[in-house]
Amino acid sequence: MYWVVVHAGEVPYREGQSIGVIADGEDKNGKPHKLRLYSIASSALGDFGDSKTVSLCVKRLVYTNDQGEVVKGVCSNFLCDLKPGAEVKITGPVGKEMLMPKDPNATIIMLATGTGIAPFRSFLWKMFFEEHEDYKYTGLAWLFLGVPTSDTLLYKEELEKMKEMAPDNFRLDFAVSREQTNAAGEKMYIQTRMAEYKEELWELLKKDNTYVYMCGLKGMEKGIDDIMLDLAAKDGINWLDYKKQLKKSEQWNVEVY
């Protein structure tokens, strides 16, 4: 995993948006590479507070295909191999699905796997690392971050610092699937960790000012649905119908791949 800061000049963006990156060079057909979208991992002010940079969280993609050939992801390797001062073609910003709620008293539940932490880092920087005349976060932010091993916990020190700074406003739970298990001995995936708080999470989901954001691997979505199906049924509620209502009111926001 790499943290890339792009000096973007006058490219205003909002927390939760993405930018497109076009890698240098051409594809096998001699055409320019297609743009790849990356969630922005910095607040609108940027990591240096001057509104001139965009931070991205990038995982270098390298794998061996069925023919035994080593394949490298075009854009991820381009970004990870950049030298300071290199020029980068970018587009955007784009995206409405993951925009941070404007209500400073909202309950914001963030569900991330791997580099899916990117938009939530942008949220949390605005909430806890910055001061704004027109915004002071007073609600509850609760982050569930799932990764395979503890050495892939992105921004761990930052997140723990935020928890120290705002213990009443920020809750933080990690799910490390290859190292942790629950009481039943099951691997600790993000939905497994959430199940430990399922009653509390369900009560929060019944409130009008609770917003859920999910970013990362698509596989976690079904596991979370499975938890909520049973909880909702106890209250005589059809979870899939209820989730549609949440989506309509922009309280259930999903960006998975």
Query: Is residue 36 a part of any domain in this protein?
Result: yes
Question: Is residue 126's pLDDT more than 90?
Answer: yes
List the catalytic residue out of 10, 131, 133, 257.
257
Q: Residue 28 has what pLDDT?
A: 87
Residues 49 and 123 in one domain: no
Range of the domain at 44: 2-94
**pLDDT (0 to 100) of residue 183:** 85
Annotated catalytic residue, options 13, 15, 39, 55: 39
SS3 content of the chain, % helix, strand, coil (to 5): 30, 30, 40
Q: Is 135 a catalytic residue?
A: no
- The pLDDT of residue 132 is 92
At 249, which amino acid appears?
S
**Amino acid 4: pLDDT:** 62
Sign of CA dihedral 7, 8, 12, 17: negative
| Residue 6 or residue 213, greater confidence | 213
Mean pLDDT of 222-231: 88
How confident is the model over 74-90, as pLDDT tens digits? 999 999 999 988 889 99
**158 and 117 housed in the same domain:** yes
Q: Are residues 86 and 185 in the same domain?
A: no
Q: Does this model's pTM top 0.85? A: yes
Binding residues: 39, 59, 115, 147-148, 177-178, 187, 216-217, 255
Residue 257 has pLDDT above 90, yes or no: no
DSSP state of 34: P
Which residue numbers belong to the known binding site for NADP(+)?
39, 59, 115, 147-148, 177-178, 187, 216-217, 255
189 is catalytic: no
- Domain count within the chain: 2
Q: Are residues 167 and 229 in the same domain?
A: yes
Residue 152 DSSP code: G
CATH code, domain with 61: 2.40.30.10
Together in a domain, 117 and 26 = no
- Tens digits of per-residue pLDDT, 147-184? 989 988 999 999 999 999 999 999 999 999 898 888 88
Q: Are residues 149 and 239 in the same domain?
A: yes
pLDDT of residue 34: 93
From residue 8, how far is each of 12, 56, 89 by CA, in Å?
Answer: 9, 12, 10
From the candidates 13, 122, 155, 255, give the one annotated as an active-site residue. Answer: 255
Confidence of residue 3 (pLDDT cuts 50, 70, 90): low
Mean pLDDT in the chain?
91
d(CA 92, CA 107): 28
- Please report the pLDDT score of residue 39 as a whole number: 95
38 is catalytic: yes
Stretch 23-49: mean pLDDT: 93
DSSP assignment, residue 8? Answer: -
Q: 13, 38, 137, 155: which is the annotated catalytic residue?
A: 38
Question: How confident is the model at residue 227, as a pLDDT?
Answer: 87
57 is catalytic: no
pLDDT (tens digit per residue) in 178-208: 988 888 888 999 999 999 999 999 999 999 9
CA 197 vs CA 19, 110, 130, 171: distances in Å: 34, 14, 29, 12
